[in-house]
Amino acid sequence: MTAPHVTTATDGVVAPSQRFVEAALDLFVEHGYNGTSLQMIGDRLGVSKAAVTYHFPSKEELLEAVIAPAFADLTRVLAEAEAVRREGARRKQALSTYIDYLIRQRRVASWLSRDVAALTHPVVLEPGQALTERITTLLVSSVDDSTARIWGAAISQALTGPVMAQISVTDEELRAELQAIGDHLIRGYQATRRRG
């Protein structure tokens, strides 16, 4: 997925189209995807609706632009982990870097967890499901059977749940606890596989 309309200036100045993306995210968080209009985004920035549609002809394109950086970030994290050859080292890197990703993307993840309209929109749902399958495969090494799929889903939900819950803790504390949870669940999965 790409967001062709989003550009950020290299000198630290926010490009005009990026201002629309940031305003859209703010309003999606406040009012939900369905409750936000292009007019509201223009009003937030003190510009006309036509100025918004010049950069983003539809709200769907704005939604895609809002979530594109998070998906690109996760795609990079997963590709780096998938390149690790040894299974144990690959799983360890996947867990650690996925936790870092969740913390970096805390605001987007928390919003999506509460906004069913955005979460189930095809521009979010389809690539999101593909990325979720990749992280699940990295954490349990396979999703070829029901046991692996169950444990993979449980591990993924256990890691994302506290991020989406908006618990008032520091990133460092959240990271340490998520690492402990992930390690514990992966050991549980491995023990289950050995017994089976």
Mean pLDDT per 10-residue interval, the chain, length 196 residues: 40 68 96 97 95 94 96 96 93 95 92 92 94 91 82 92 88 96 94 83
Does residue 16 form part of some domain? no
Please report the pLDDT score of residue 142 as a whole number: 74
pLDDT for 16 equals 63
Residue that has been written with the tokens 């009003």 in this structure: 43
CA distances from residue 171 to 42, 112, 175 in whole angstroms, order as listed:
33, 19, 6
In a domain, 149, yes or no: yes
pLDDT of residue 196: 66
Instruction: Please check whether residue 18 lies inside any domain of the structure.
Output: no
Angstrom distance (rounded) from CA 46 to CA 23: 11
Q: Give residue 187's pLDDT.
A: 94
Helix (H) or strand (E) holding 23: helix 16-31
The answer as to whether 118 is a domain residue is yes
What's this model's pTM, rounded to 2 decimal places? 0.83
Task: Read off the tokens for 170.
Answer: 């520091």
- The answer to the question of residue 27 being in a domain is no
Does a structural domain hold residue 24?
no
DSSP letters, 127-163, are: HHHHHHHHHHHHHHS--SSHHHHHHHHHHHHHHHHHH
pLDDT at 6 (0 to 100):
41
Q: Give domain status of residue 99, yes or no.
A: yes
Size of the chain in residues:
196
Domain range for 153 is: 67-195
Confirm whether 60 is domain-assigned: no
Domain count of the fold of the chain: 1
Which CATH number fits the domain that encloses residue 115? 1.10.357
DSSP-derived 3-state class of residue 120: coil
